[in-house]
Structure 1
Amino acid sequence: MRHKRLVFSSSGAIESQNDSAVSRWAEQGCISCRAAPRSSTSVMCQPCYNSAMRLAPFIIKVPEDHATYKSVETQFQQSWRHNTTCPAVKAVYKIICTKASLDKYQRYLDDVEFRGNFLAKESSRGNERRRWHGTKRKCYIGDQGNTRFCTDSGCSLCRIIQKSFDIKLFKKSTGWGRFGAGIYTSSTSSKSNDYSKNIGISSDWKALLLNKVVVGNGKKLTQDDPSLKKPPGRHDSVLAEVVPGGSLNYDELVVYKNEAVRPSYLVMYKSP
């Protein structure tokens, strides 16, 4: 398949600095080769994506001048809701999951969409959302362009990127869960920052995961219920909301199946 070439040199620099060339790269360019247009379902062109899948799992740095970087950075900044200064984003990496992992997620997404028909309700397929998750990092992945996974079984960040989330590890990091045995994410980056920990390393950077989550038909709750092992009734998830008199200061989204969530981006930021 032949691609329409964008305006890039072999080094990746934009040869023509006119506004249309810059805009075309930001919106359409493959983050890997920086030469071909991205596909409709990926931030890479199809040949680069096919190559990436053969190497999965791994992470690839997103160029700062790409629209994908700006989208993730803006979500991080706008969802920082604590009464502290939002730290600067230092790097964004696209997470490439294995085909087997993505297939399990896609099958679950399709099933939730079939049952809920969310596209007809002018929502995303399966009511999919992007949500934050903070966890333990015991290596320097993400720092200064480092993309190598460590082998420490206690480095939750590397293990999640490599194998996704595992509900069997519930309570291993936090010790409890307001809404039972689930996988917890939040739309609030500063809340997830509270769970982002550098363990045994000296780094000025911290890490957050931005994940794809199948919300489906979410059950809204405002008070803790640690006894939950699945969503109440026929719901697909729990939407823990902040209301006067409720038990939360910041929102949480909880799913109870591994296939309902996949890590999508690794975001590195200056430690607050």
Structure 2
Amino acid sequence: MNRWGKRRCISCQAAPMSKASVLCQPCHDIALKMAPVIIEVPKDHENYKSVKKQFTRSWRHDTTCPKVKRVYKIIVTEASLNQYQVYLDSVEARGDFLATGKSRGNENRRWHGTKRRCCIGDKGTTKICTNSRCSLCRIIQNSFDITLSKKATGWGRFGAGIYTSSTSSKSNDYSKNRGINSNWKALLLNKVVVGNGKKVTKNKTSLTEPPEGYDSVVAVPGGSLNYDELVVYKNEAIRPSYLVMYKKP
């Protein structure tokens, strides 16, 4: 291990990470030109350990937490990143969350499970496929699309939004392999702008945006909900950040 140790660039592994990335600045610039791409995070890297810890600690179902096999950093396009940043800044300007000790825009990391129709994430497979029905690759390539809301499940407990959870085992229920032979499953860990979240415990399927004065819906366990959900209603409010591969439970 070089002198930068656990804070080294995950790509060249020879230089320190830049302040805004898990890559050094030269590698970050190259990755942006190639984006969207996924880059495997070394298992001894601090970011791998952070993501793995979040996966393990947030597995709240009675089943045994599966073993994390690989973690990939998702590099989105500069345009996509800028759209997210503009939205985050606007939410922060309205809510001044930094002043209350929260992250900028009350940004959090949340899980999302979806369908995978290729072997991206398996050993040696980092190419984004072109199958229009591979929801995982389409999210990595284009981020989330609010117009596709409800298509996977047929309904939305809190309306037409983009759903995530702090509970990895809940998102695992939506992670599906379709038409492929793999011993691994995939989850996305995403950056989400929570902003001022409206806490709810009861279904409200008619929502197409947060209640007035709020930026998101934060569904807490109780009532008809066993596990938490976070729902945003704008594409700009969420970006995929990590792809986590784990053994099938």
> Separation in 2 of the partners of 1:159 and 1:145?
19
Q: Specify the SS of the correspondent of 2:123.
A: helix
1:25 corresponding residue in structure 2: 5
**Hey, what's the Cα distance between the residues in 2 that align with 1:171 and 1:233?**
22
CA RMSD of aligned residues (A): 0.8
Equivalent runs, 1:66-77 vs 2, <5 Å = 66-77=45-56
1:174 deviation in Å? 1.0
Could you say which structure has the larger radius of gyration? Answer: 1
> Pairwise mapping of residues 23-102 of structure 1 onto structure 2 (< 5 A)?
24-26=4-6, 28-102=7-81
1:119 aligned to 2:98? yes
- After superposing on structure 2, the runs of 4+ consecutive aligned residues of structure 1 that deviate more than 4 Å are none
User: 1:136 pairs with 115, 120, 140, which one?
Assistant: 115
Question: 1:234 deviation in Å?
Answer: 1.1
| Residue in structure 1 matched with residue 237 of structure 2 by the alignment | 260
Residue 205 (structure 2) pairs with residue 226 (structure 1): yes
Show the counterpart of 2:228. Answer: 251
Query: CA-to-partner distance for each residue in 1:133-160, whole Å, 9 max, x for gaps?
Result: 0000000000013101111100000000
Displacement of 1:172 in angstroms is: 1.2
Unaligned runs of 5+ in 2: none
- Quote the Cα distance in structure 2 between the aligned partners of 1:34 and 1:169: 38
Percentage of identical aligned residues: 70
Give 1:157's aligned residue.
136
SS for the counterpart of 1:106 is helix
Measure how far apart 1:227 and its partner are. Answer: 0.5
Deviations 1:31-53 (A, max 9, x none): 11111111111101101100100
Looking at both structures, which has the greater relative contact order when contacts are Cα pairs under 8 Å and sequence separation is at least 6? 2
Structure 2 CA distance for aligned equivalents of residues 58 and 94 of structure 1: 8
Task: Give how far 1:113 is off.
Answer: 0.2
Q: Which amino acid letter does the alignment assign opposite residue 194 of structure 1? A: D
Show the counterpart of 1:5.
Answer: none
Deviation at 1:210, TM superposition (A): 0.1
Letter in structure 1 aligned against 2:248: S
- 1:210 touches 1:266 (CA, 8 Å); kept in 2? yes
Aligned residues: 249
Shift in Å, 1:219: 0.1
Q: Deviations over 1:29-80 (max 9, x none)?
A: 1111111111111101101100100000010000001000000000000000
Residue in 1 aligned with 2:169?
Answer: 190
Residues 232-272 of structure 1: CA deviation (Å, up to 9, x unaligned): 111000000013xx110000000000000000000000000
CA distance in 2, matches of 1:202, 1:249: 31
TM-score (norm 2): 0.99
Q: Which residue identity is paired with 1:266?
A: L
Which stretches in structure 1 are left out of the alignment for 5+ residues? 1-13, 16-20
Aligned with residue 180 of structure 2, among 201, 207, 224: 201
